[in-house]
Amino acid sequence: MNENLRAFVKEKLKHHQHRYLHICGVEEVAVELAKIYDVSIEKASIAALTHDLLKYDTIEEQIKWLDQKTVEKFRHIPVMYHAYSAAIYIQKELGIQDTDIINAVRYHVWGRPNMTTLEKIIYVADFAEPNRNFEEAKITRNLAKTDLDLALVYAMKSSMDYLIEKGINPSIDQYEAFQYYEEVTRGKIK
């Protein structure tokens, strides 16, 4: 399944082997979670394979896919461009028109309130794939097998804590997504 797409991704990232391995790890976790949560395995695989496709394109190349409003919004956080540009690129260059896949790619870095199950799966898989060798990834992976929302909120909190530790303020969008899922999981967190 998706072998042509996999070959395309591998070729595009041929000078970034570690990123290709990360993508394969994301796909593995995403497919596993798709089976548990009854989401299309095909969609989970496509979203995982394409989510970081433009990660190593130059900023100029990335922003050429974006509208001015998006370019302005992330001017000071250019790492966000790769997600938003990949969401457009897969539509225009790869003919992927499935809104759920497109949004899973677009929101994979910070998440957002009221995500679909596929969006949650890609967010969690990106954070927790087996090549991520920190403890929180392992914890998230285990949580995700029984409660996707708990895994999501745990991963969001860990990402924000990591930024704060490095002296970087998480964005308002990140807080908003986190608070939304904190509310959703209220009472479940021990």
By CB under 5 A, tell whether 129 contacts Fe ion: no
Torsion of CA 148, 150, 153, 156, to 10 degrees: -60
- Asked if 55 and 16 count as a contact pair (C-beta separation under 8 A), the reply is yes
| Residue closer to Fe ion, measured from CB, 84 or 180 | 84
| Residue closer to Fe ion, measured from CB, 16 or 157 | 16
| Closest alpha carbon to 65 in 106, 29, 97, 36 | 106
By CB under 5 A, tell whether 52 contacts Fe ion: yes
Residues 131-190 that bind Fe ion (CB under 5 A): none
**What is the closest distance, in whole angstroms, from the C-beta atom of residue 22 to Fe ion in the complex?**
6
DSSP state of 65: T
Mark residues 64-103: x for contact with Fe ion by CB under 5 A, - for none: ----------------------------------------
| Residue closer to Fe ion, measured from CB, 57 or 126 | 126
Helices 41-50 and 99-106 cross at an angle (nearest 10°) of 40
| # residues near Fe ion by CB under 5 A | 2
Contacts of 71 (CB under 8 A, 6+ apart): 63, 81
By CB under 5 A, tell whether 27 contacts Fe ion: no
Alpha carbon 25 to chain centroid, angstroms? 12
By CB under 5 A, tell whether 126 contacts Fe ion: yes
| Residue closer to Fe ion, measured from CB, 27 or 52 | 52
Contacts of 33 (CB under 8 A, 6+ apart): 39, 44, 121, 124, 125, 144, 145, 148
| Residue closer to Fe ion, measured from CB, 25 or 154 | 25
Stretch that binds Fe ion, among 69-77, 95-103, 122-130, 172-180 (CB under 5 A): 122-130
| Closest alpha carbon to 19 in 106, 129, 115, 105 | 129
Footprint of Fe ion (CB under 5 A): 52, 126
